[in-house]
Amino acid sequence: MGSCGFEVTVVFCLYFGVFVLGSKYSKELNEPVKDSADEKTEFRISKLNQIWEKAHRLEFSAVKLSELHSDLKLQEKDELNWKKLKAEGLDEDGEKEAKLRRNLNVILARYEMDGKKDPKHLETNFLQDHDGMDSDVYNDPKLDKLWIKAKSSGKFSETELENLRREFKHHKEKLQEYQILMDTISRTEEIHKNVINPAEHVVKQDVLHDKHTELKEKFQSIKHGFERLRKLSHQGFDTESEFKEPRVIELWEMAQRSNFTTKELESLKEELQHFEVKVEKHQHYKEQLEISHQKLKHVEALGDKEHLSRNKEKHTMLSEKTKELGYKVKKFMQDLTNRISRGGLQHNEL
């Protein structure tokens, strides 16, 4: 059963609060978890539970926890599907496994759990999670400069500035994914240099070609995204735009650059309109969860047991609903992205 696991080890350095991915996962970290009568686990894969527990120890805010939960649920679904494929011998070259490993690295980087930063210093309470972009946190000089300029311009309302903030955050995540893919290619090329078997050499050349193609596509997406941010920062939001949500806008622009017919684009536009409603609903619940969290802290400080019980119930309900909606939105986003990508002539999916 050990072959079912990723070849990466999850090591938690509990005293230093550092999360490190090493060279090999253990069998225990990748085997589905069996719930005991005394302890119910959140996920069916041990390493995902370790990440979830780590986030709680680092005192992630309620909204940040709900976002992480959605990402881990999606990762769990993909990993369990992969295990079935692996058992049927459908991932002989290990590329699907490598992509899953990279996706997990993206999640860890997104939540500063990759050992490169101490997330506790960045975000330890809900208000910092909501307003913490001011300290930014984008780790890219061009993005930082553009954000500061847009924020201080005075041309955006509070709502527009929050929408712009989400656009910047989304772009930052794309930069993280690009960097992780670059690192993966560098490691693959290093391994490729040591290949002796000619047949294996051809296989690895094909793998490298696919990864370089994906890297080019991500670079183009980043380039288009930055141009959009630059335009938004200088000119403000277009009131006549088809969509408002950053992820939906990106999908629509991606579809328009692909080879869809007019009829297919119309059908996709309608689907994206429904998706945007889901995204807005999820955003609304995140805001409500934010308010509930602050209210709960206030009631806890007062020591009113009756009000505390009612607020805890409401907070739990909002937390579960936000997690559920977050998962649905991210899964829908994943499915739509894959479908739109396959509509383009030059897409090579790993």
By C-alpha distance, which of 323, 282, 51 is closest to 166? 282
Task: Determine the pLDDT at residue 54.
Answer: 94
- φ, ψ of residue 6 to 5 degrees: the values are -65, 155
22 φ/ψ sector (left φ>0, alpha ψ -120 to 50, else beta): beta
Task: Determine the pLDDT at residue 32.
Answer: 57
Residues lower than pLDDT 70 in the chain = 1-39, 116-138, 191-207, 343-350
Helices in the chain by DSSP H: which ranges?
27-30, 46-57, 62-87, 95-110, 119-122, 126-131, 141-152, 158-193, 198-235, 246-257, 262-302, 305-343
By C-alpha distance, which of 260, 269, 257, 278 is closest to 333? 278
Task: Determine the pLDDT at residue 84.
Answer: 92
Give the number of other CB atoms < 10 A from CB of residue 180. Answer: 19
Task: Determine the pLDDT at residue 196.
Answer: 56
Intra-chain end-to-end CA distance of the chain, in Å? 25
d(CA 98, CA 316): 36
Task: Determine the pLDDT at residue 138.
Answer: 67
Question: Cβ(30)–Cβ(6) under 8 Å?
Answer: yes
Q: How many residues does the chain have?
A: 350
The pair of three-digit structure tokens given for residue 208, joined into one six-digit string: 């490298």
Task: Determine the pLDDT at residue 197.
Answer: 58
d(CA 230, CA 240): 18
DSSP state of 33: P
- The pTM score is 0.69
Task: Determine the pLDDT at residue 204.
Answer: 61
Burial 258-272 (b: 16+ CB within 10 A, else e): bebeeeeeeebeeeb
Bridge partners of residue 10, in order along the sequence: 21
Q: Would the CA dihedral through 179, 185, 187, 193 be positive or negative?
A: negative
Task: Determine the pLDDT at residue 289.
Answer: 93
Four-CA torsion 130, 134, 139, 141, nearest 10 degrees: 150
Question: Cβ(59)–Cβ(42) under 8 Å?
Answer: no
Question: Cβ(41)–Cβ(33) under 8 Å?
Answer: yes
